[in-house]
Chain A
Amino acid sequence: MSLRRVEPLVWLTFSGGGVAAATLLPVLTFLFALAFPLGWIDPPDHAHLAAVLHNPLTFLVLMGAFTPMLVHAAHRFRYTLYDGLQVKHRALVAAVCYGSALVGVFVALQMLGSAT
């Protein structure tokens, strides 16, 4: 598949990831990164969270959300490097950014899989 046919699909994934991040991350961050650790809200029982994560549906939804989010971050950061730091090695930057996203997807599969 030629590069010019791939870029639009990457952009679509970027867009999907943007929607997922915009809709899911505020509440997830507020609860799991702030409210629970800082005790603003009592953290749920371990058993309850384990049960939610054990459900294959949770695995599918989270994988379906995290994968495009990682592509979104990689795509945006790639262009930040082009425009912000004016990095000239475009192909290398693209490889590093999307490569990292791919690594992230494997990590996600591993972590989420182990909880299911």
Chain B
Amino acid sequence: MDDSISMRVGRYRPERDHEPYWQDYDVPLRPEWTVLDGLNHVKNELDTTLAYRWSCRMGICGSCGMNVQGEPKLTCATFLSDYAPGPVKVEPLANFPIVRDLVVDIGDFMEKLPRVMPWIIRDDDVTEIDGEYLQTPEELDAYKQFSMCINCMLCYAACPVYGLDPDFVGPAAIALAERYDLDSRDAGARKRLDVLIEHDGVWGCTFVGECSAVCPKHVDPAGAIQRYKLKAATQSVKAFLLPRGAR
């Protein structure tokens, strides 16, 4: 195995540059090193000006998403040795505006997430509860997969619809809406449907399926979206066929 690998890193300094450019760094190629370890080596030893996000370095916080060799990845979960002999391209997460170097502006997602009301909505007036809301293992299984989302936004980077139309609410937001709709403790499905039935909701999705392919937590947002479309369509048929009182 070679001693080192070249990393081609996207740089951009807004106060100085008109557009991003590449900068090459040689980092040691240790078998257990991830791309994030490579970036940390660059920052510690080679170039302290490099800006990037990371935190837990174990694939649970969702901070370190970037495009590695063109694919959205968590840099803490991607081994450098997989790209030997290199160079391995590391650029900011696709489909988001670049703030600086590898840091992207995630404001769009932060605005969209609360729109789908990703919390338990109850239909009773209870303000203080005496104990927990009980839930069977089967009820948990119904939504558990969708609760695994770590908001890393790799799905947004992979989604060509979001890339072409930033108004699209996007895979993770819809998957999280589905997570709450399927939760037996929740009564807010109608409210979320009202949000997602709009044109920038589920209908923009053309089921490319890349979101599910890149998700590091196997959430399957594509599946959530198709189920949501079927749910919305069923509701529309009911609304069409049944008189107002029965809906």
Contacts and interface: CB of A to CB of B under 8 A. Distances in A.
Interface residues of A, number: 14
Contacts of B161: 83
A83 B197 CA distance: 20
B203 A9 contact: no
Main secondary structure, interface of B, reads helix
B237 interface: yes
Interface stretch (B12-20, B72-80, B87-95, B228-236): B228-236
Contacts of B197: 4, 7-8
Main secondary structure, interface of A, reads helix
Contacts, number: 39
A7 B237 contact: no
B206 interface: yes
Interface string A74-90: 00100100110010000
Contacts of A11: 203, 229, 232-233
B164 interface: yes
Nearest to A12: B233
Interface of A: 3-5, 7-9, 11-12, 15, 76, 79, 82-83, 86
The 9 lowest CB-CB distance pairs between A and B, nearest first, are: A8-B236, A8-B233, A12-B233, A8-B232, A79-B206, A7-B203, A4-B197, A9-B236, A11-B233
17 contacts: A4-B197, A5-B239, A5-B240, A7-B203, A8-B235, A8-B236, A8-B237, A9-B237, A11-B203, A11-B232, A11-B233, A12-B233, A82-B164, A83-B160, A83-B164, A83-B206, A86-B164
